[in-house]
């Protein structure tokens, strides 16, 4: 931790330099790095201060028993601070500190699945807002479904460690409820897949040869005016050796969409390589094939009872508070995933 503290201090010193704002992009980069450093150093400093206070209280209690009443709440607060710090130390992956690019796509279930994808989209944006992350409106690529929900949606969650937390959501999510689009007397099961990529900076070093790349263009449906609907502005890139693909239709410019799709493809290739290094067998939705039964990482049941249950092996977690979860309270599932991932990595190292 002394090394992290020294790095934080160096960044703070740069902010005080007279010509700090001369280069706007460089200055923003320093501020971004400072936020990342503070997200680890500040919890450590707060925990260190708390343990010092408890030690002082204990010494005072030896002389005056009235101080004993203050020790228990101080210990409870320090325990909460320790848990927060412990979770932060688990976000040590190469890309964990980066912002996240989230894609949601409906699977089996027809209109219900499209509606379910829309529900997840709202839930994750609420989670982001709760934690002070930004979801830029200009970076939302959404294809609405005519009846309800979405055919697909891609959006960014911007802020330190957004990817580190959101990686817990990669996979297929299963919903069970009385369908509002059917007769209403039978339960409907529907699926949606969530894919999360780290936002990769422009200076990434992953090289993709032109011979290994297939470029497809398509007209973008949905809202956006005549220009967006009629021109071939959407771009899909396919990495031939792996079959991994990425597409973008956020902007009106094919050139800009291709550049963004390239960054997404590079991020996906890098994520796959990291999974291989960790021995992680979890794959993103577009590598799974069918988004249907047997592939879900989590189930959400609304009728005849309420339950959200983690389905991944090694994570034993469930809660009846489905409304809270769908209002953005994913923390307990994300934290459980990070603890499981950290334990698996430590076991691999041994």
- Give the closest residue to 165 by CA, choosing from 93, 83, 273: 93
Q: Is the peptide bond before 40 cis (omega within 30 degrees of 0)?
A: no
75 and 167 part of one domain = no
Burial 244-272 (b: 16+ CB within 10 A, else e): bbbbbbbbeebeebbebbbbbbbbbbbbb
Domain end among 38, 70, 90? 90
- DSSP conformation class of 167: G
pLDDT at 206: 72
- The answer as to whether 236 is a domain residue is yes
Claim to verify: residue 33 and residue 110 sit in the same structural domain: no
* pLDDT for the residue numbered 4: 65
Non-local (6+) Cβ contacts of 263 within 8 A are: 199, 200, 202, 204
The CATH number for 63's domain is 1.20.58
Answer with the one of 64, 90, 116 that is the final residue of a domain: 90
Residues 147 and 279 in one domain: yes
DSSP-assigned states of every residue in 123-143:
HHHHHHHHTT-B--GGG-EEE
Q: What is the pLDDT of residues 324-340, one digit of tens each?
A: 999 999 999 999 999 99
Residue 95 forms part of a structural domain: no
Domain boundary among 41, 58, 90: 90
Same domain, 185 and 298: yes
Reported as a single tens digit per residue, the pLDDT across 19-51 is 878 887 777 777 777 777 777 777 788 888 888
When divided into structural domains, the chain yields a total of 2
Q: Are strands 296-301 and 171-178 parallel, antiparallel or unpaired?
A: parallel
Whole-model pTM?
0.74
Mark the ranges of the chain whose per-residue pLDDT is less than 70: 1-4, 7, 183-184, 202-205, 220-232, 251-252, 274-294, 346-350
Residues of the domain holding 31: 2-90
Q: Are residues 58 and 108 in the same domain?
A: no
Same domain for 197 and 129, yes or no, is yes
Across the beta sheet with 213-218, the strand order is 213-218, 234-239, 244-248
CA 53 – CA 46 distance, rounded (Å): 11
- Same domain? 165 vs 58: no
How many contiguous H segments (helices) and E segments (strands) does the chain have? Answer: 9, 11
Cα(199)–Cα(194) distance, integer angstroms: 16
* Tokens 């005056």 sit on residue: 64
Q: Are residues 64 and 178 in the same domain?
A: no
């Amino acid at each position: 931790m002394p090394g992290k503290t020294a790095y934080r201090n160096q960044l703070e010193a740069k902010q005080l330099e007279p010509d700090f704002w001369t280069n706007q992009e460089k200055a923003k980069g320093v501020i971004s790095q400072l936020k990342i450093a503070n997200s680890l150093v500040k919890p450590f400093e707060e925990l260190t201060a708390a343990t010092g206070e408890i030690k002082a209280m204990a010494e005072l209690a030896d002389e005056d028993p009235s101080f004993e009443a203050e020790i228990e709440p101080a210990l409870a607060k320090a325990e909460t601070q320790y848990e927060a710090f412990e979770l932060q130390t688990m976000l040590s992956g190469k890309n964990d500190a980066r912002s996240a690019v989230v894609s949601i796509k409906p699977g089996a279930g027809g209109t219900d699945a499209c509606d379910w994808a829309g529900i997840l989209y709202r839930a994750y944006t609420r989670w982001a807002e709760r934690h002070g992350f930004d979801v830029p409106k200009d970076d939302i690529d959404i294809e609405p479904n005519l009846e309800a929900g979405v055919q697909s949606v891609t959006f960014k969650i911007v802020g330190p460690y957004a990817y580190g937390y959101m990686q817990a959501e990669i996979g297929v999510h299963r919903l069970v409820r009385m369908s509002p689009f059917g007769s209403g007397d039978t339960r409907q099961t529907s699926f949606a897949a969530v894919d999360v990529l780290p936002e990769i900076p422009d200076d990434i070093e992953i090289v993709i040869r032109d011979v290994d790349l297939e470029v497809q263009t398509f007209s973008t449906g949905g809202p956006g005016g005549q220009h967006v609907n009629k021109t071939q502005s959407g771009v899909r890139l396919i990495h031939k050796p792996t079959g991994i693909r990425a597409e973008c239709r956020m902007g009106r410019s094919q050139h800009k969409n291709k550049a963004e799709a390239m960054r997404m493809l590079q991020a996906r290739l890098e994520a796959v390589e990291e999974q291989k290094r960790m021995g992680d067998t979890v794959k993103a939705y577009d590598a799974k094939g069918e988004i249907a039964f047997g592939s879900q990482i989590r189930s959400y049941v609304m009728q005849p009872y309420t339950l959200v249950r983690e389905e991944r092996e090694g994570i034993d977690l469930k809660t009846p508070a489905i409304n809270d979860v769908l209002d953005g309270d994913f923390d307990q599932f994300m934290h459980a995933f990070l603890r499981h991932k950290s334990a698996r990595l430590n076991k691999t190292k041994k």
